[in-house]
């Protein structure tokens, strides 16, 4: 292949020194270069609570106990947690 072919580089900005890589900070991250930080662990924690802890709690509350809390209030917890996490991640990504 010759050197005059176009190669797309996400975030590359035209102009500047030909040897220096100038990138736009708002450009998408290339695959394989993402970082796993505390935000990823927050998402994992919310998913564990929503899909493991709350259903187990609903199953373990005895039928003679507070039915209203088990079957009406506890399912609202995952809904609010997942909704808040979705809004938080959407605001973070924009």
DSSP string, 36-87: --HHHHHHHHHHHIIIIIHHHHHHHS-TTS-HHIIIIITTHHHHHHHHHHHH
Kindly report the backbone phi and psi dihedral angles of residue 23, in degrees, each rounded to the nearest multiple of 5, phi listed first: -130, 150
pLDDT score for 81: 92
* Tens of each residue's pLDDT in the chain, 94 residues: 556 777 777 666 666 555 455 566 666 667 666 677 888 888 899 999 999 998 888 888 766 666 766 777 788 889 999 999 989 888 877 6
Q: Tokens for 84, please give them.
A: 């808040």
Taking the C-alpha atoms of 57, 62, 64 and 65 in order, what is their torsion angle to the nearest 10 degrees?
A: -30
C-alpha to C-alpha distance for 45 and 39, rounded to whole angstroms: 10
Domain ranges across the chain: 38-93
């Amino acid at each position: 292949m010759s050197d005059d072919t176009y190669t797309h580089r996400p975030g590359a900005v035209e102009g500047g020194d030909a040897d220096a890589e100038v990138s736009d900070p708002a450009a998408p991250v290339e695959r394989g270069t993402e970082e796993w930080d505390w935000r990823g662990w927050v998402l994992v924690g919310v998913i564990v609570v929503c899909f493991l802890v709350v259903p187990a709690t609903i199953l373990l509350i005895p039928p003679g106990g507070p039915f209203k809390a088990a079957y009406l209030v506890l399912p609202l917890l995952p809904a609010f947690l997942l909704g808040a996490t979705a809004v938080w991640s959407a605001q973070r990504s924009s």
